[in-house]
Amino acid sequence: MEQFINALHSTELRIRTKQARPISLNDAVRRAVEMDEFYRVEKKTVSNSSERTQLRRMLQ
C-alpha cells in the first residue's frame, strides 16, 4: 500500500491519501481515485469560470 501511495503523481494527492488512513491497498486506491477526480472537476470548474469571465469582458 505504501508503495502505491508513494507513486502517486502529486504531493497533495499523496498527502491526502495518507491522511485518509486507508486500511488496505483497495481502500487507498479508491480514496486516491476519488480525490483525483475531485481535483479534476475543481480544475475544470475554475477553468470554465475563468473562460466565462474572459468572455464577459470581451462582450462588454
> What's the pLDDT tens digit per position in 29-55?
999 999 999 888 877 776 666 666 665
Mean per-residue pLDDT, 2-10: 93
CA 4 vs. chain centroid, Å, equals 16
Handedness of CA 23, 24, 28, 31 (dihedral sign): negative
Dihedral over alpha carbons 14, 15, 21, 25 (to 10 degrees): 0
What does the pLDDT read at residue 51?
62
Q: Which domain holds residue 13?
A: 2-59
Count of the separate structural domains present in the chain:
1
Q: Is the pTM here over 0.75, yes or no?
A: no
Residue 22: pLDDT over 80: yes
